[in-house]
């Protein structure tokens, strides 16, 4: 006879497993310990098989019968319910292992060695805040352009337009990695070009008027902070490298005898050569007795770490400069690029190579660290001599090339 809820509730365990049968092969098995499990007995391919349907009372009589009926439909279609369940479980595991977050973290991990730590951490944080909560557990192959656009619009709506653009680029990188590893067929982020508001580029604050540059240099000379920070401030306009590269400079990269500094460009992972003017060498020689025994030229409070990334800008603010509208540590690059070209008439390609920018040449090379080295060496000395004249208050004579 068909089972009833009352009969199931009142059933007691025995020394051996007890089976209470319903219709269609469904039965409840009661273990000696009192556990009650639903099972389905069926035949497939001439063999008797059993399928677990869950435990009572979590799975009630009505639900157990529904599972039985589903299994019988599969049998009618010549499908083994047990194998079908196994295939579903494997598909679910595969979907979970190919979720967007899993693939993204795998991609980030593989690139960690070639990315700057700050860049890697910034992207991870960006995804954890803006992406993973919404599509992290979605199978990467099923993610659509509208889903990604919803995420980007959410970022854009809070005014972070540039972050929205960078997030689209990062999602595209993950999608292309998924394609390369056989876990997706296309990149839906590519369909969103032009879907976001354009970025309003704001250049780093900089001083490019020679007279005002002279004022700034005199202020740097008069800085009353620590000797290490002051040395970094004095070298910043002479070398005009990226602020992060200056503060992380290591003594092992300097050859003061050859007047050269070799370091790895963080953006391109290529080696850069900075010819050192006599003024730059003098500053470094004066600093060397203080920090030359350690790794970093400009160590922070912890000698094992470089000085804070905020140190130079904080020093500029102490001198009364607004780092949002007047000058930043990064602004020394724009200062050099502008004045070297407009006032000292240096070749743009020589300046760009000294800035460690990618400048494709006729051979297709994106960057050559030794190219124009002789010209760059002369330019760096010319630049330092020019800054000395500005600092001394020499009259600035603007030179304009003939038409």
Token couple for 254: 């300097």
Q: Is residue 147 part of a domain?
A: yes
Q: Is residue 180 part of a domain?
A: yes
Q: How many CA atoms are closer than 13 Å to the CA of 336, on its beta-carbon side?
A: 27
Q: How many CA atoms are closer than 13 Å to the CA of 280, on its beta-carbon side?
A: 28
Mean pLDDT, 10 residues at a time, the chain of 403 residues: 88 91 92 93 91 93 94 91 84 74 92 79 92 93 94 91 91 94 92 85 74 92 92 95 93 96 82 94 96 95 91 90 85 92 91 81 50 92 95 62 42
For residues 303 and 364, membership in a common domain is answered with yes
Alpha carbons 274 and 256: distance in angstroms, whole number: 11
C-alpha distances out from residue 136 to 91, 107, 185, 255, 276, Å: 18, 14, 18, 49, 49
Q: Which residues are catalytic?
A: 242, 267, 330, 333, 357, 367
Of 161, 192, 223, the residue that ends a domain is: 192
Q: Is residue 54 part of a domain?
A: yes
Q: Is residue 397 part of a domain?
A: no
- Given this model, what pLDDT does residue 94 score? 66
For residues 34 and 115, membership in a common domain is answered with no
Q: How many CA atoms are closer than 13 Å to the CA of 340, on its beta-carbon side?
A: 30
Instruction: Judge whether 293 and 251 are in contact, CB under 8 Å.
Output: no
**Nearest-10 crossing angle of helices 278-291, 227-239:** 150
For residues 387 and 370, membership in a common domain is answered with yes
124: domain CATH number is 1.10.150.130
41: left (phi over 0), alpha (psi -120 to 50) or beta: beta
CA dihedral 68, 69, 71, 76 (to 10 degrees): 140
Of 132, 165, 192, the residue that ends a domain is: 192
Q: Is residue 182 part of a domain?
A: yes
For residues 54 and 107, membership in a common domain is answered with no
- Count of structural domains within the chain: 3
21: domain CATH number is 3.30.160.390
- The whole domain housing 81 covers 5-96
**Nearest-10 crossing angle of helices 373-391, 227-239:** 120
Q: Is residue 143 part of a domain?
A: yes
For residues 141 and 229, membership in a common domain is answered with no
Q: Is residue 48 part of a domain?
A: yes
For residues 371 and 280, membership in a common domain is answered with yes
Alpha carbons 237 and 340: distance in angstroms, whole number: 12
For residues 265 and 366, membership in a common domain is answered with yes
For residues 239 and 337, membership in a common domain is answered with yes
Instruction: Judge whether 247 and 307 are in contact, CB under 8 Å.
Output: yes
Q: How many CB atoms within 10 Å of residue 403? A: 3
Instruction: Judge whether 263 and 274 are in contact, CB under 8 Å.
Output: yes
* DSSP code of residue 288: H
For residues 378 and 265, membership in a common domain is answered with yes
Three-class DSSP labels, 60-111: CHHHHHHHHHHHHHHHHCCCCHHHHHHHHHHHHHHHHHCEHHHHHHHHHHHH
**Nearest-10 crossing angle of helices 311-318, 227-239:** 100
For residues 228 and 374, membership in a common domain is answered with yes
For residues 363 and 247, membership in a common domain is answered with yes
- Given this model, what pLDDT does residue 230 score? 95
> Cα 296 from chain centroid?
25
Token couple for 181: 């590893």
- Given this model, what pLDDT does residue 216 score? 92
Instruction: Judge whether 275 and 269 are in contact, CB under 8 Å.
Output: no
Nearest CA to 60 out of 68, 51, 50 is that of 68
């Amino acid at each position: 006879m068909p089972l009833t809820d009352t009969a199931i509730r009142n059933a007691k365990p025995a020394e051996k497993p007890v089976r209470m049968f319903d219709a269609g092969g469904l039965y409840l098995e009661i273990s000696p310990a009192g556990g009650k499990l639903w099972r389905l007995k069926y035949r497939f391919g001439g063999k008797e098989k059993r399928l677990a349907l869950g435990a009572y009372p979590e799975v009630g009589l009505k639900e157990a019968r529904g599972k039985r009926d589903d299994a019988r439909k599969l049998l009618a279609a010549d499908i083994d319910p047990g194998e079908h369940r196994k295939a579903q479980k494997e598909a679910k595991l595969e979907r979970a292992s190919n979720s967007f977050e899993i693939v993204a973290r795998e991609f980030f991990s593989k690139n960690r060695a070639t990315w700057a730590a700050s860049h890697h951490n910034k992207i991870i944080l960006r995804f954890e805040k803006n992406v993973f909560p919404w599509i992290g557990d979605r199978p990467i192959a099923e993610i659509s352009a509208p889903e990604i656009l919803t995420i980007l619009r959410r970022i854009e709506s809070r005014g972070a337009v540039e972050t929205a653009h960078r997030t689209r680029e990062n999602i595209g990188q993950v999608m292309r990695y998924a394609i390369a590893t056989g876990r997706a067929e296309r990149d839906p982020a590519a369909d969103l070009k032009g879907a976001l508001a354009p970025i309003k580029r704001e250049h780093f604050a900089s001083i490019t008027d020679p007279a005002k540059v002279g004022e700034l240099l005199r202020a740097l000379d008069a800085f009353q902070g620590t000797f290490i920070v002051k040395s970094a401030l004095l070298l910043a306009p002479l070398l005009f490298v990226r602020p992060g590269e200056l503060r992380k400079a290591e003594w092992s990269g300097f050859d003061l005898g050859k007047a050269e500094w070799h370091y790895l460009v963080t953006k391109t992972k290529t080696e850069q050569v900075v010819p050192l003017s006599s003024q730059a060498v003098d500053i470094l020689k004066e600093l060397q007795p203080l920090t030359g025994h350690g790794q970093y030229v400009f160590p922070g409070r912890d000698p094992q770490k470089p000085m804070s990334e905020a140190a130079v800008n904080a020093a500029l603010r102490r001198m009364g400069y607004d780092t949002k509208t007047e000058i930043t540590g990064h602004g020394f690059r724009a200062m050099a690029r502008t004045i070297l070209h407009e006032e000292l008439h240096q070749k743009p390609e020589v300046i760009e190579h000294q800035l460690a920018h990618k400048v494709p040449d006729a051979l297709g090379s994106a960057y050559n660290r030794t190219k124009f080295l002789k010209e760059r060496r002369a330019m760096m000395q010319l630049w330092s001599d020019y800054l000395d004249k500005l600092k001394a208050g020499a009259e600035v004579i603007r030179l304009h090339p003939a038409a």
